[in-house]
């Protein structure tokens, strides 16, 4: 076998956006006892990975609202963060991603949407 020129790092301390979105999906599911579920999907397109976080209401026939999409290159940053609240933001590093994610998920608009979905679920 020929000599490999690849240098593979053993570990990194950087938390990937995919990891953070999955953590928040799980947190929503746990916080609502499964009445609402966080769901993360990935698709690839033209050297980019698109990661989406959705809220799913199983009791409402699986009603799904896509709330965040992050489009990242192989190097993760910079990427494009889009939310249901509108507009897109260029994210330069993990700290910016985390701060933007927190801002969107804790926003008044997101609280109203979650409350509305939970209220409709109670009607069933």
Percent of the chain with pLDDT over 70: 100
> Taking the complete model, does pTM exceed 0.85, yes or no?
yes
Backbone angle region of 24, left / alpha / beta, with phi > 0 → left and psi within -120 to 50 → alpha: alpha
Domain ranges for the chain, please list them.
17-107
CA 25 distance to own-chain centroid: 7
One pLDDT digit (tens) per residue for the chain, 124 residues: 789 988 888 877 789 999 999 999 999 999 999 999 999 999 998 999 999 999 999 999 999 999 999 999 988 999 999 999 888 999 999 999 999 999 999 999 999 999 999 999 998 7
Q: What is the pLDDT of residues 70-82, one digit of tens each?
A: 999 988 999 999 9
């Amino acid at each position: 076998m020929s000599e490999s020129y690849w240098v593979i790092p053993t570990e990194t301390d950087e938390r990937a956006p995919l990891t953070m979105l999955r953590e928040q999906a799980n947190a929503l599911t746990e916080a609502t006892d499964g009445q609402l579920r966080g769901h993360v999907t990935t698709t690839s397109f033209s050297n980019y990975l698109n990661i989406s976080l959705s809220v799913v209401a199983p009791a409402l026939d699986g009603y799904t609202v896509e709330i965040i999409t992050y489009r990242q290159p192989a190097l993760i940053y910079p990427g494009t963060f889009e939310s249901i609240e509108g507009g897109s933001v260029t994210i330069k590093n993990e700290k910016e991603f985390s701060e933007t994610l927190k801002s969107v998920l804790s926003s008044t608009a997101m609280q109203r949407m979650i409350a509305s979905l939970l209220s409709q679920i109670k009607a069933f």
